[in-house]
Structure 1
Amino acid sequence: MVLVERERQLAELAGLLEECLHGTGSVVVLRGPVAVGKTELLHTLAEQVAGDRVRVLAAAASPVERHLSFGLLSQLMHGADPAYARRAEAVMRGGVREEGEVGPQVLEEMSRVFLDMSAGEPLLIEVDDVCHADMDSLQCLLFLARRLRRSRIMLLLSDQDRSGIRHPDFRTELSRHPYCTQIRLAPLTHDGVAALLAHDLDAHVAHSLAPAAFALSGGNPLLVRALAEDWEASTRSAGKEPPTGPVVGDRFAERVVSCLHRLEPDALDVARAVAVVGEATRPELVARLSGVGAIETRALVDLLDESGLLHQGRYRHHAAQDAVLRDFGAPARIAWHRRAAALLHAEGGRSTSIAHQLIAAGEAEQPWAAAVLRESAASATASGQIDFALDCLELAHSLADDEQQRAVSRAVLAETEWRVDPAGAVRHLGALTDASRRGLLTGRQPVAVVEYLLWHGRVDEAAAALDRLAATASGPEAVELDAVRACLELCYPAQRRRTGPGAVPPPRPEPRADGPASLVATALAAVRGDVAVSSDHLGQGLHTDAPLTRIALGLLALARPERLSTVAPWCLPMLADAAGREGPRWGRLFTAARADAALLRGDLAAAGWFASAALDETSRSSWGVLAGAPLACLLITAVETGRYEDAAGYLNMPTPGALLETPFGLRYLRARGQYHLAVGRPYAALSDFRTCGRLVTEWWDDGPRQLPWRVDAAQALVRLERRDEARVLLEEQLDGLPVDDERTLGRALRQLAATLEPHERPSLLNDSVDALQAAGDRLELAHALADLGGAFAANGDSRRARPALRRAWRAAQECHAERLARSLQPGLAGTSSSRAASGGPHLRGDLAAELSAAERRVGGLAAQGHSNRQIAQRLCITVSTVEQHLTQVYRKLRVKNRTDLPVLLDAGENESEVAEPLLTEALFNSSPYSP
């Protein structure tokens, strides 16, 4: 037995028992809320204080036995001497009732049995939860109470607060006796909770858990012990760290239900009504739902508060509320929730409160239910409570009683699921497509169905639905359909050639600003190149109501690297806007766009991180055909960092069948071709690159603004020693290439150099380095520098080979291009005549520590191949000072000349080729989605 904060009460009971032993009988009533330790105190008195000095007759009343005549007295007689037990049994069996009550003769004879027993030995009669006793037993105990003052009987009863409604005469009669003592037990204090926890848990753990345990239990000892048991059970789980806070588990829930079933029936009904009503608890509603009077309901709620089950009329933890609801049984729970919904509707309650009750019931027969659910769904969607909105719409859809109503409700449900997760709308596409074809949908719903189909690669169905809608559209509806058609053509370029001979293509939108759909169409046309639109005009279209179009637009724009600086000011904020307003799944699209931009500037670490975050396991099914964008980024980063097993795993990921009908599929094909090249499969790579070229030629008028697939194909042809074919492709790529496409120019020149003799390569590679440095692509720059260093080395020009290889290795390290960096290390080591002294490409930390900051700057620039005069001009110092610093650097690093300087010597400055594009970086740093 564990008693905490009950020492005073136990001492008082012990004193009364001593008086009983000396012939002064008494009646003691222990009062308090349910489960505050009254039973523990009764047992402790009987076992530790009474001992063998008295005979203990104990019984526990129960609500299920309250209609059993003399049930409580029968329990008490189990501890009596057999002779007295037989005598009492005979009295109870032959009892005569008078007008529904036990006759006086029976009461007198039963009292005489107890008094006669006390003459032989003192009696301690303990009755737990006397409020649940049967009426016949209560009358006998009350008759005895009037006659035990001069006896050796102590009658000890435990009773709950406010439990006198069933037997008001009994409580009143007891309280008027001068030898009746009332002892009240209150819930434990904060310190008491800590002390009780310390009986089961480590003292330090008990102290740390006490505040939260007190808040969860209200000081109810039964619930505190349950929390201790749940915490101990959680620590026994294999491989788990001990929890840092209380664990609300099965024991806690069980004890809550146990407390409830020890309550009076009215209190139990009130407790159940509070659980059903939930957060919207109001005494008036609880009273009507439970069927208990308003005044009594308030009193019973206060009682439940005092017991620790409730706090300010609400359950202290959702686990307690859930346990009470489970205790109902499904049929009763459903009935209670339906009755609560009807009461709330009758009194004009909030639609969301009514909807919660209808959803909890899982059914509704009232004619107003569907309207309430739809209203609640709209309100919940506006406030971001999407899961609740979906629950409302699911139930409303099940209540629809005609074909069109079911179609419209399904469309609303699909639209809400689409906002949470695009994959969620797939299950509705078949029914919605049929409903759209039959004209059952309203408003923008048919257009939304087309967008869902586009997203998930069901392009033929989308095109057919779009044609069907366009045949009858006019005004603003036609403008919006034009925007969707533009998106269709961008996502699935082959659809531009879908119309048959003689068909007139749809008109192109003019750059207008009279509606969101028009602005989206204009922006799409601008990216496609059909019209010229200023950035200010495009910026007006950021807040459109067409999320699919907006997001597809941004990613398609980023799919063209050479246009990043043009489209970034408006497409990246557009993606950020979608991510912030449409839910966490949509945020991954913006993350994927950031991965693309990071890859374009050669930041492999950031690109891989963003792409992995965008395409995690929980979101893969949501991407539809757009999965090609982050998947291609993951493939490229895995290849460039030398993680070929990871790349193979990405290739095994399932992709939509329509992926290769989209520009995203082109990017995926190119990335797959790069993987094939890296693992020594040039024929497979060439096949992928040529497939890209075929699709580009089929979809668009082939030109330098489209995907530069020829550069990749030429790289594969060079690996196959088919240099003439590669040269023809590269010359085609360079023919008419715009002057602002520095990235494609640099890549093409680098591959063109590989088709020439070694002595012809440096000039082209120098031009390639300049172009890629201007483009800000550090990864391609590292490859070009590596080729330039190799060309110099092949021509025997080690003086210029070493700085170029050092710069290439340095750029590869900064990009995290481990594959390239590893391939450069042997060449770097071979260029140094004093490798042992300088530590090869790696700077020895003990020697580098001796250099001053000025010496590191001068030495670093010298290691990059700058002359003394160039270093002097850059650092604004004299040539003589440069020479003096270099002399100290050679001495401290134990090298003979600048060609032996370690490649990792830091110049202390950022070279222009590794500077990030300021515009794009500023946009990223201002985003709420920074890692």
Structure 2
Amino acid sequence: MSLAERDQCVHSLMKSLDECRQGKGSVTLVSGSIASGKTALLHEFAEHATTSNARFLSATCSAAESDLPLGVIDQIILNARTAYGYEPGGDDGNDREPAGARALHRLCLDIADRDAERPLIIGIDDIEYIDTASRQCVLYLARRLTASPVMVVLAGSSDPQSVGWQFQAELLRQPHASAIRLASLTPAGTADVLADHLAPAETQRLAAACHQISGGNPLLVHALAEDNQSPADPSAPIEVGDAFSRALLNCLYRCDPPTLSVAQALAVLDGLPTGLPALVNMEPEQVEAILRSLQSAGLVNRGHFRHAVAQTAVLQSLDPQERRRLHLRAAVILHDIGSPATEVAGHLVAAKRVTDAWGVGVLREAAEQRLSDGDVGAALDALDLAYQASSGEHERATVKSLMAVAEWRINPSSARRHLPELSAAVQRGDLAGRPAIDLIDRLLWHGRPEDAVDLLDRLSERDRAGELDAESQAALRAIALSIAFLYPDTAEQVRPEATDGDHTDEAIPASPLSLRLQSATVRAAILADGPDSATVSHAEQILQVARLDDTTLAPITAALLALFYADRADKAAAWSAPLLAEADLRHAPTWQAIFGTLHGLVAHRQGDLAAAEQHGNTALTRISPRCWGVAIGAPLALLILAKTEMGKHDDAAELLHHPVPDAMFRTPYGLHYLHARGRHMLATKHFAAALNDFQACGELMQRWGFDLPSVVPWRSEAAQVRLAQGRGDEARRLVEEQLSMLGPGHTRARGISLRAMASITEPRQRPQLLRQAAEVLQACGDRLELARTLAALSHVKEEVGESSRARALERWAQNLAATCYAETPSTEPPGPGDGTEQHATVDGGASSLSNAERRVAELAAKGYTNREISCKLYVTVSTVEQHLTRVYRKLNVNSRADLPLGLDFDDLDFDDHTKAIA
């Protein structure tokens, strides 16, 4: 081992050796912290001494022999016999210890007398473990070396309590005694050690980190050099590996038991020495002294291990049962002194036991804090143990509810397994308030609105019985509005009566449940009455005060949707971007997927197709498609729209084969999916299928009571189809109807409607309509719709002979489309088709279906559920299922999402439902 920064120490010992040659005996005490290089220095000096014609006798003390009388003296005499053939004479004394001392003295004198030119050196290592009898012998010898060519070098711990105050004092009070204190390596010394093992560039790169991790402890520096001799990546951080772990444990297990116990307890407490004395059952002063010793050795720094590998190594060296005992004891101590719940819970989880009544409450509190911090794994660990230790149904249900919330954040599909147990708890009355609302949210997400309504009814019964507080009552109204929004067909069953607290001009409350009521009310107001400045402002106020967590996720998404449906993509983008960034920072995959989809939808409305596609793709990878529940329609709609408008029609068609749950078509997610599918069908000239989807959107929106162009402008979309089919009058009626519905807040929808109107009006009116559309679309920031409008205006200018202006507009349109990553917009205005409508090829074709099967297929394609189809057609659900099974087989498709492909229902008379099914 290299003796970096020890030259002065060797020089001092050699100087004493020179004096010894002159007949001046001496005693030198070499001290230092654990693994500071005392033994290496002793060996280095022995080598120098023997090569310079000195004799060297050595002995090493051991903790295992500290109770063996004269064990060290016996080692020295044995070494003298082996090395120099020395045979000690008899002793007339009756007391063994004084006899041993005299024997040691006589040995030294006899050896010196045999060859006075060769001084004798006696080196004893690890003297903190020297037995009492040998200690007395050393002191006896030390007092008699003044005029003898004998030099005694003792090496041991720098801790006076380890070596013994009295022993050190007696040694060092001798006039011929001296002390050498080995300090930790400096950064330069650390670099010198590394240079013996590593290339110069590696030494320079790793020296500072090595010194920081090792604290200048030579043994640890050598271990780090070993760990980094063959770096996999020359630019990688310093490797702290097995050699370091072994060296650290070697240091600690050479310490006395109290020091080892403190180090182990420090590892258990994770560098929090507050409860250390109680954990090791020592006085604080003793613990402080040991911590100073460990810091001096470079093993810890201010009560913390210098590297996580060090702490892990110490923990893993403990017997598992002992480790769990220490963790449980630590949990009790920290709880008693009022430590944070997260610290206490961490020890309970490590101990895998809860023995006190307060344990479950602490674990729950810690789990909620961990969730707030974004550490879902630690939260679930705490909740798993809390559930095992829970004593009653109410407590178990509450813990299980938190588990479902935590799991849903990272894997909604996994959280689904908790629904039956939690539903039963609500029915029993063991869950209410936020946990019950969370459960209903999960049921809605997974397409179980009937179960959600049942639970809402149960909670309403408790409300009528006076069992719920004001917060829970607000939660009931909020969740009722959520059910009515997500499953509009249930609105009449769940719609609550308005209360004074539901007005959107009220001050924003701080409570998450009250906040949820406010956001649900704002969203409902926009959908019912259209957007206005007051509701838009209120939605923004909600977003300003709501900090993202599990309790505010619903009101935040509701407020964002309110801005989206209010046609305020600019404001929605300003809020969705930072929310997505925060979800990324919190490592919450479900949040990332939700806010990514919302931000992508907003990006699409602003004409940023590349961002829309990226966010859509990311949303489907953050959580798997099966985790999305009925909400799968949102990312699919986003991707289908983006890819269609980018000209990636094959990719869009592939997305349409993705399986979706039937319940999706009962939700606004299904509405957006139908709209996106219709846009794809229109772009690929499947006009009948496109019209079918747009009309399905219209039927649903009218039935659900929010027929707003800002949600889905289905009339202008259907008008494009009718125009392509040569039905201009019908196209005009649809566009005029849409324009009549627009209020001042429908900016984007107004621009789209004006452009659609221009396509069906007489040529002289088109320029004005297109200019108005362009102004509106430019103001709202939709670059893609603006590009389409400019392309149409370019064609109009070309028709009236303004070629220069037409080319300028065309270039503008093309540049805008390029920035959107969209297909170049056609300057040809939409008009009647040429009779070449495309039909997807399906096995058997629509002609193979009976009238009954075709009618069921048409309604299923529009998004109706089997139960709704059975009601509309006056047949049983079983009959509907049988018809659909035959339809899928004949058309060779997998789901109702594929039904419009190649089907043309225009020639069917749908008025006589009974006849169609017969």
Q: 1:746 deviation in Å? A: 5.3
Q: Which amino acid aligns with 1:480?
A: A
Structure 1 position 668 matched with structure 2 position 673: yes
Q: In the alignment, what sits opposite 2:4? A: 4
Q: In the alignment, what sits opposite 2:726? A: 724
Q: Which amino acid aligns with 1:178?
A: P
Give distance in 2, aligned partners of 1:598 and 1:113.
Answer: 94
Q: Which amino acid aligns with 1:487?
A: S
Which residues of 2 match residues 598-637 of structure 1 at below 5 A? 598-608=603-613, 617=622, 625-637=630-642
Which residues of 2 match residues 128-207 of structure 1 at below 5 A? 128-134=125-131, 138=135, 141=138, 145=142, 152-165=149-162, 170-203=167-200, 206-207=203-204
Deviation per CA, 1:733-789: give whole Å up to 9, x if none.
Answer: 543532445644654676688799xxx778658734642442333212323443555
Q: Which amino acid aligns with 1:398?
A: Q
- Of the candidates 477, 492, 497, which is equivalent to residue 482 of structure 1? 477
Q: 1:439 deviation in Å? A: 1.5
SS in 1 for 2:726: helix
Give distance in 2, aligned partners of 1:640 and 1:352.
Answer: 50
Deviation per CA, 1:496-553: give whole Å up to 9, x if none.
Answer: 37x5xxxx96545675348625534431330221699833666665547962441342
Structure 1 position 472 matched with structure 2 position 475: no
Give distance in 1, aligned partners of 2:156 and 2:619.
Answer: 62
Decide whether aligned partners of structure 1 residues 705 and 263 sit closer, same or farther in structure 2, where only a CA change above 3 A counts. closer
Q: In the alignment, what sits opposite 2:552? A: 547
| Contact in 2 for aligned 1:547/1:578 (Cα 8 Å) | no
SS in 1 for 2:462: coil
Structure 1 position 308 matched with structure 2 position 298: yes
Decide whether aligned partners of structure 1 residues 704 and 166 sit closer, same or farther in structure 2, where only a CA change above 3 A counts. closer
Q: In the alignment, what sits opposite 1:836? A: none
Give distance in 2, aligned partners of 1:676 and 1:450.
Answer: 36
Q: In the alignment, what sits opposite 1:219? A: 216
Give distance in 2, aligned partners of 1:223 and 1:275.
Answer: 18
Give distance in 2, aligned partners of 1:377 and 1:125.
Answer: 62
Q: In the alignment, what sits opposite 1:51? A: 51
Give distance in 2, aligned partners of 1:366 and 1:712.
Answer: 66
Decide whether aligned partners of structure 1 residues 731 and 323 sit closer, same or farther in structure 2, where only a CA change above 3 A counts. same
Greater shift in the superposed pair: 479-488 or 543-552: 543-552
Decide whether aligned partners of structure 1 residues 552 and 539 sit closer, same or farther in structure 2, where only a CA change above 3 A counts. closer
Give distance in 2, aligned partners of 1:673 and 1:148.
Answer: 106
| Contact in 1 for aligned 2:56/2:121 (Cα 8 Å) | yes
Which residues of 2 match residues 117-516 of structure 1 at below 5 A? 119=114, 123-134=120-131, 138=135, 141=138, 145=142, 152-165=149-162, 170-203=167-200, 206-207=203-204, 209-233=206-230, 236-237=231-232, 240=233, 242-243=235-236, 246-282=238-274, 285-347=275-337, 351=341, 353-376=343-366, 391-415=381-405, 425-426=415-416, 428-474=418-464, 476=470, 477-496=472-491, 506-507=496-497, 511-512=502-503, 513=506, 516=514
SS in 1 for 2:155: strand
| Contact in 2 for aligned 1:126/1:156 (Cα 8 Å) | yes
Query: TM-score, length-normalised on structure 1?
Result: 0.73
Give distance in 2, aligned partners of 1:427 and 1:130.
Answer: 64
Q: In the alignment, what sits opposite 2:526? A: 527
Q: 1:35 deviation in Å? A: 1.7
SS in 2 for 1:469: helix
Q: 1:287 deviation in Å? A: 2.8
| Contact in 2 for aligned 1:734/1:745 (Cα 8 Å) | no
Q: 1:596 deviation in Å? A: 2.8
| Contact in 1 for aligned 2:187/2:207 (Cα 8 Å) | yes
Decide whether aligned partners of structure 1 residues 275 and 569 sit closer, same or farther in structure 2, where only a CA change above 3 A counts. same
- Of the candidates 573, 598, 601, which is equivalent to residue 596 of structure 1? 601
Greater shift in the superposed pair: 484-493 or 14-23: 14-23
Q: In the alignment, what sits opposite 2:842? A: none
Deviation per CA, 1:476-498: give whole Å up to 9, x if none.
Answer: 4444322211111212223337x
| Contact in 1 for aligned 2:28/2:152 (Cα 8 Å) | yes
SS in 1 for 2:353: coil
Give distance in 1, aligned partners of 2:332 and 2:602.
Answer: 56
Decide whether aligned partners of structure 1 residues 702 and 182 sit closer, same or farther in structure 2, where only a CA change above 3 A counts. closer
**Count of residue correspondences:** 796
Which residues of 2 match residues 716-865 of structure 1 at below 5 A? 723-724=725-726, 728=730, 731-737=733-739, 738-740=741-743, 741=746, 743-744=748-749, 747=752, 764=766, 767-768=769-770, 770-776=772-778, 777-787=782-792, 789=794, 802-817=807-822, 819-820=823-824
Decide whether aligned partners of structure 1 residues 197 and 761 sit closer, same or farther in structure 2, where only a CA change above 3 A counts. farther
| Contact in 1 for aligned 2:577/2:599 (Cα 8 Å) | no
SS in 1 for 2:156: strand
Give distance in 1, aligned partners of 2:307 and 2:620.
Answer: 36
| Contact in 2 for aligned 1:187/1:219 (Cα 8 Å) | yes
Give distance in 2, aligned partners of 1:380 and 1:597.
Answer: 31
| Contact in 2 for aligned 1:197/1:210 (Cα 8 Å) | yes
Structure 1 residues not aligned, in runs of 5+: 826-931
What's the C-alpha RMSD, in Å, of the aligned pairs?
Answer: 4.7
Q: Which amino acid aligns with 1:526?
A: A
Q: Which amino acid aligns with 1:732?
A: L
Q: Which amino acid aligns with 2:251?
A: C
Give distance in 2, aligned partners of 1:798 and 1:96.
Answer: 130
| Contact in 2 for aligned 1:745/1:768 (Cα 8 Å) | no
Q: In the alignment, what sits opposite 1:871? A: none
| Contact in 1 for aligned 2:80/2:86 (Cα 8 Å) | no
Decide whether aligned partners of structure 1 residues 35 and 588 sit closer, same or farther in structure 2, where only a CA change above 3 A counts. same
Q: 1:189 deviation in Å? A: 2.7
Give distance in 2, aligned partners of 1:83 and 1:3.
Answer: 27
SS in 2 for 1:358: helix
| Contact in 2 for aligned 1:556/1:663 (Cα 8 Å) | no
Give distance in 2, aligned partners of 1:155 and 1:657.
Answer: 91
Q: Which amino acid aligns with 2:53?
A: R
Q: Which amino acid aligns with 2:483?
A: L
Q: Which amino acid aligns with 2:188?
A: D
SS in 1 for 2:824: helix
Give distance in 1, aligned partners of 2:75 and 2:661.
Answer: 74
| Contact in 2 for aligned 1:78/1:85 (Cα 8 Å) | no
Deviation per CA, 1:387-428: give whole Å up to 9, x if none.
Answer: 766554443333212222211222344456667886775453
Q: Which amino acid aligns with 2:235?
A: P
Decide whether aligned partners of structure 1 residues 167 and 745 sit closer, same or farther in structure 2, where only a CA change above 3 A counts. closer
Give distance in 1, aligned partners of 2:194 and 2:60.
Answer: 27
| Contact in 2 for aligned 1:509/1:525 (Cα 8 Å) | no
| Contact in 1 for aligned 2:122/2:153 (Cα 8 Å) | yes
Q: 1:106 deviation in Å? A: 5.1
Structure 2 residues not aligned, in runs of 5+: 829-918
Q: 1:184 deviation in Å? A: 0.8
Give distance in 1, aligned partners of 2:122 and 2:268.
Answer: 40
| Contact in 2 for aligned 1:711/1:730 (Cα 8 Å) | no
Q: 1:246 deviation in Å? A: 4.4
